[in-house]
Structure 1
Amino acid sequence: MGNQEHFRVWRGDDETGDFVDYDVEVNEGEVVLDIIHRIQATQAPDLAVRWNCKAGKCGSCSAEINGRPRLLCMTRMSTLPPGEPIVVTPMRTFPVIRDLVTDVSFNYEKAREVRAFVPPEGVAPGDYRMQQVDVERSQEFRKCIECFLCQDTCHVLRDHEENKPAFAGPRFLMRVAELDMHPLDAAAEQGLNRKEAAQDEHGLGFCNITKCCSEVCPEHIKITDNALIPLKERVVDLKFDPLIRRKKRARRA
């Protein structure tokens, strides 16, 4: 027989909702998603929650636990304060569909705005060759499972709905940084400057590097330190370095 814990789960839709209290059994080794499933099975069969792999690799079960963006399947009950109510809410940054399920289509719209990898001219797919040393910096970013917890916690999006049209968020700025670091990306040869795009199209200037995105990443990607800050540095060089500006003026002359 396990312990009894008190859960407060947000129930509702995009128009109205409130917290509903559940007292539920918790057994050793369980994660929050286990308890949400138990609530579904025993008390609230209509409780909506999105999940898939239950292994921290699909990114589906993103929510907020005691106010912190987390994966339900990777948050062990033993890590939460004992004897205190456990509050589970949907991600605050995105519109609620129902209960713990949010509409994350904003992220897919932003993904489409990032222009894809441009293969080098004259090199066929399958013939790309890179050294490990060339990809070590950006390889970390490929661990992203697109749980969108970084998007959820980013205060530029979370607290300012009006920023969403102009700001892609940390996940997609990281994608731009990855492409800009890619040793074979030939975007510049096709007239696409990824650094300028980061600033002018994806809102890099909105990011003030608080590192909250890195703190919630379940894959422990150092989004701010390894992607966003280096990208900002390259943008500053491009726009404000006096030698680069002088070269640009010389080309135009």
Structure 2
Amino acid sequence: MTYQGRFKVWRGDAEGGGLVDYEVDVHEGEVVLDIVHRIQATTAPDLAVRWNCKAGKCGSCSAEINGRPRLMCMTRMSVFDPAETITVTPMRAFPVLRDLVTDVSYNYTKAREVPSFVPPPGVKAGEYRMMQEDVNRVQEFRKCIECFLCQNTCHVVRDHEENKQVFAGPRFLMRIAELDMHPLDAAEETGTDRKRGAREEHGLGYCNITKCCTEVCPEHIRITDNALIPLKERVVDRSYDPLVWLGNRIGRRSR
């Protein structure tokens, strides 16, 4: 089935812009990214859009479709009524470069601030051994495709520009949780306290677990339930549980 679809696409740059109306053919089985490409090919060759794989694995084509953060390549036109006007806008949490392309460098800055995996001493690469249960626990988080939709929908980032200096956002708090859960990570043995860092350097306390990040994740990672809440629990134990506090004090004194 082919029909004439109506679209409103945001056009502009850092100086400003607005929605522009387009009417374009929609064919059976197409996704929103197909339509954006058709608009480029037929009406607006200067329309800027970031994309790469068109298979939901590169995370490049993130945008907001009818106000909801989505991947354009994974949003099928069949989910919309043919009579509906589809609005496509850039991610709101990040500065616009042009049209649907935003500056997501904030995320790469935060990624560099997270201390990397610390190999266990005395164990060579290729000799790591883990229980399958531990592998399964952290493997979910490795499915992240860096689309930054969770970062975009997090109201701590989206609605409060000033928080970006002190808040890593759900994607990178999830990375900290993944490393903290990793049974072979030897960060603490080298003086890196991931729990303290999550609280004091990466703004874990700003997260109020609304689960909006989980709701928009195209990989269906349970960011809130399986990463952020467990990380919060461990941070609270480390910081406020009197028995843990006493044990840490005794441990430090005995060394």
TM-score normalised by length of structure 2: 0.97
SS of 2:34's partner is: helix
Distance (whole Å) between structure 2 residues aligned to residue 160 and residue 122 of structure 1: 45
Q: Distance in 2 between matches of 1:178 and 1:252?
A: 26
The match for 1:79 is 79
Could you tell me which residue of structure 2 aligns to residue 200 of structure 1? 200
Counterpart AA for 2:74:
M
1:238 corresponds to 2:250: no
1:209 maps to 209
User: Aligned partners of 2:163, 2:245: CA distance in 1, in Å?
Assistant: 30
Question: Number of residue pairs matched?
Answer: 253
SS of structure 1 residue aligned to 2:189: helix
Matched with 1:37 is: 37
C-alpha RMSD of matched pairs (Å): 1.1
Counterpart CA distance in 1 for 2:228 and 2:84 is 37
Secondary structure, in 3 states, of the residue corresponding to 1:83? coil
Q: How many angstroms apart in 1 are the aligned matches of 2:75 and 2:223?
A: 21
Shift of 1:212: 0.2
8 Å contact from structure 1 (residues 135, 183) kept in 2: no
Secondary structure of residue in 1 paired with 2:165: coil
Q: Quote the Cα distance in structure 2 between the aligned partners of 1:68 and 1:205.
A: 26
Structure 1: state its 5+ residue gaps. Answer: none
Match of 2:227 in 1: 227
Tell me the equivalent position of 2:63. 63
Q: Distance in 1 between matches of 2:189 and 2:249?
A: 20
Identity of aligned residues (%): 75
Structure-1-length-normalised TM-score: 0.98
C-alpha separation between the residues in 2 aligned to 1:58 and 1:248? 43
Query: Aligned equivalents of 2:249 and 2:7: distance in 1?
Result: 63
- Which residue pairs with 1:17 in the alignment? 17
- Give the superposition deviation at 1:80: 2.0
Moved over 6 A (4+): none
Aligned equivalent of 1:145? 145
SS at structure 2 position matched to 1:9:
strand
Amino acid at match of 2:210: T
Report what 2:100 is aligned to: 100
Render the CA deviation track for 1:136-185: whole Å, top value 9, x for unaligned. 11110000000000000000000000100000000000000000010100
Query: Could you list the per-position Cα deviations for residues 214-248 of structure 1 after superposition, in whole angstroms to 9, with x for gaps in the alignment?
Result: 00000000000000000000001011111012223
2:3 match: 3
Shift of 1:251: 4.7
* 2:145 maps to 1:134: no
In structure 2, runs of 5+ residues without a counterpart are: none
CA contact (8 A) 2:170 2:228 kept: yes
- Rounded to whole Å, the distance in 2 between the matches of 1:252 and 1:104 is 41
Contact 2:3 2:82 in 1 (8 A): no
